[in-house]
């Protein structure tokens, strides 16, 4: 049996949790220990969200590539 913390959240849930943590940290009402715990969780969520975005980008690039490996999608800068 796996615990709730073992299960990874979906991207939207992780992003919502991250936004909540940022709000808590910005409020200035947390103790140092609470702030550090929120920051640590925020770093974990940020890394998770970034990995999901990286995978999505790879999938889009793969779908947009043609037979000679060139993408038909121009990156926007």
- The two tokens of residue 65 are 């590539």
Q: What are the boundaries of each domain within the chain?
A: 32-64
Predicted local confidence at residue 77, as pLDDT: 60
- The two tokens of residue 74 are 């121009």
- Global model pTM greater than 0.75: no
Q: What angle, rounded to 10 degrees, do the helices at 32-64 and 11-27 form?
A: 150
Predicted local confidence at residue 71, as pLDDT: 55
Q: Per-residue pLDDT for 3 more than 50?
A: no
Contact 45, 17 (CB under 8 A): yes
How many angstroms separate the CA atoms of 9 and 42, rounded? 13
């Amino acid at each position: 049996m796996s615990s709730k913390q073992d299960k990874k959240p979906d991207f939207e849930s992780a992003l919502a949790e991250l936004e909540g943590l940022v709000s808590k940290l910005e409020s200035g009402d947390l103790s140092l220990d609470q702030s550090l715990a929120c920051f640590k969780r925020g770093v974990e969520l940020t890394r998770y969200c970034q990995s999901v975005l990286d995978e999505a980008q790879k999938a889009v690039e793969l779908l947009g590539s043609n037979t000679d490996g060139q993408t038909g999608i121009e990156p926007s800068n």
